[in-house]
Amino acid sequence: MGHTPDYCDYRQKGRGLTMQEIIEREDLTMLTMTQISGVMKIHPARLNYYAETGQLMFPTQKSGNRYKVPRMVFLKAMGVIE
């Protein structure tokens, strides 16, 4: 996967959500790799690579050319809910 760093300060405005935002936003049923990048501290392109190769600790679904994860599955994987 090219020159995409594993970890980086991904602080572009409008990119990524905090864990609190993911917990509070019940209108979100599916999360994109960009939305979870802020919580995981991994660049979205690297997350897409990990999803493509099955290296994430939770299952993902491919929708077009994007990978998504159900919000509740993500929260369970991160230990927020049981």
Q: How far apart are CA 39 and CA 41, in angstroms?
A: 6
Tell me what pLDDT residue 51 has: 96
Tell me what pLDDT residue 38 has: 87
Check residues 76 and 82 and name the one with the higher pLDDT: 76
CA atoms within 13 A on the CB side of 39: 20
- Quick: pLDDT tens for 15-64: 789 999 999 998 999 999 999 998 998 889 999 999 999 999 999 999 99
Tell me what pLDDT residue 2 has: 55
Return the number of other C-beta atoms located less than 10 Å from residue 5's C-beta: 11
Q: Which element (helix H / strand E) includes 32? A: strand 30-32
Tell me what pLDDT residue 10 has: 47
Q: What integer is the mean pLDDT of 68-79? A: 96
Order the strands of the 61-63 sheet from edge to edge: 30-32, 66-70, 61-63
